[in-house]
Structure 1
């Protein structure tokens, strides 16, 4: 049995997980990852906290047979990552990028090298889970929306500010609008706001939902109607609740799933060992 360690270095957090070769890549079990965790990018810049992370991982799990990683953060973060395990010599590190080939999935991106590695990994992760026309939505610092055909073709997608970024930009670039605090009552967002806080959070939600709804219409126009929506990232549950309020979308399988990028890295790593 082999053990593989994967790292997803996003704009805000570094996430990691380890999987055993006996595990099924299409398993949707929430306890899929044998070992997993995350740390903020800001914390990862600290040598002391990196040493703690290295010590924790190396003492929690056996030495992996290979490491796969993708990074959309500053390039210095990659150097910090590669320096994590001096106690594990001769580790096989493999970096995944937007132009990394994967059998069974191809992109129509004009310059694949400029496709975000996290978006590409998420698409591969989605392909490992289903072979239908799929909308892959990652709801992190930015929200990305990508169409993956049942034929394995990535038809492109969109990038827009994530929910928090939208809300923060209104506070930063206006004189009188505050930083909105999201209501714990999700259903309250499906109406016109009757106070400034509701107006901001509801407006940001509506912008996200408008993009998703437009993507579904566009997929139908190009004869690849969406049959499933996967949502990953910190706002996945919020958007999943919102999506189900649209009659055009509610009939679709809509599933928040954690670690779609990590799953894609795992699938890619298996093809490249």
Structure 2
């Protein structure tokens, strides 16, 4: 038996074994807004403790917690806290700060260096953390994938996917890819520039999420951390009181 980490996002479900203070090998599945494919559910692991973070719809979250409760002796759900393990959140009401953003910050808070963290999933989230564990707030925007889907929904002749990035594209699919990816990159770069003004030093840039690989060639000094939320959940897990674990 073992302890496992579960990250239920808006469109993907990721899980990994807890290995020390980090996540082990990660598995990821796409999911619908209200349900998880039955075949994948049958392949969920069993163990002692399931540590869970979710930003998914309440109905899907509730059904997954019930399923995990049948497979694990304990289920522990991570919540955003104003201060935890050296991390201090900028939001006046921590409950309004998404637990995925919180855990991504928690994953790197012990590095004690200023960082901008960009999560590229259904949304594009950007957060600034200084070298003393203080969160300075952030931004939320549509991710490139969500931009493409929104444009396609309003104008079906515009493809919802495909195309290659170009600074000045001469094809509609390429122009869409260039515009949507470029918009995300521009917001990330502007945030990093302003972060340098706020902190007096240029922060490192960490990127995670399913849409991150497409942006990496456009952000040459960015660090890709695909399991950042799960790593943060692992750090949250090992800091729980013994009675809770």
TM over 0.5: yes
How many residues are treated as equivalent by the alignment? Answer: 241
Partner of residue 133 from structure 2, selected from 143, 152, 160: 152
Q: Map 1:171-210; keep pairs closer than 5 Å.
A: 171-174=152-155, 176-183=157-164, 189-210=165-186
Match of 1:135 in 2: 116
Match of 1:84 in 2: 67
Match of 1:260 in 2: 228
SS of aligned partner of 2:84: coil
SS of aligned partner of 1:165: helix
> Separation in 1 of the partners of 2:159 and 2:28?
30
Match of 1:39 in 2: 29
> Separation in 1 of the partners of 2:91 and 2:81?
10
Listed one character per residue, the Cα deviations across residues 203-247 of structure 1 (whole Å, up to 9, x for unaligned) are: 111101110111011112212533311111112222121012xxx
> Separation in 1 of the partners of 2:94 and 2:200?
21
Match of 1:68 in 2: 51
Quickly say closer, same or farther: Cα 1:102–1:80, change in 2 above 3 A: same
Q: Is the 8 A contact 1:9 1:70 kept in 2?
A: yes
Quickly say closer, same or farther: Cα 1:70–1:46, change in 2 above 3 A: closer
CA RMSD of aligned residues (A): 2.3
> Separation in 2 of the partners of 1:174 and 1:223?
42
Q: Is the 8 A contact 2:4 2:18 kept in 1?
A: yes
Partner of residue 235 from structure 1, selected from 211, 217, 222: 211
Q: Is the 8 A contact 2:26 2:227 kept in 1?
A: no
Quickly say closer, same or farther: Cα 1:232–1:46, change in 2 above 3 A: closer
Moved more, 218-227 or 147-156: 218-227
> Separation in 1 of the partners of 2:21 and 2:56?
29
- Note the residue ranges of structure 2 that are not aligned, 5 or more in a row: none
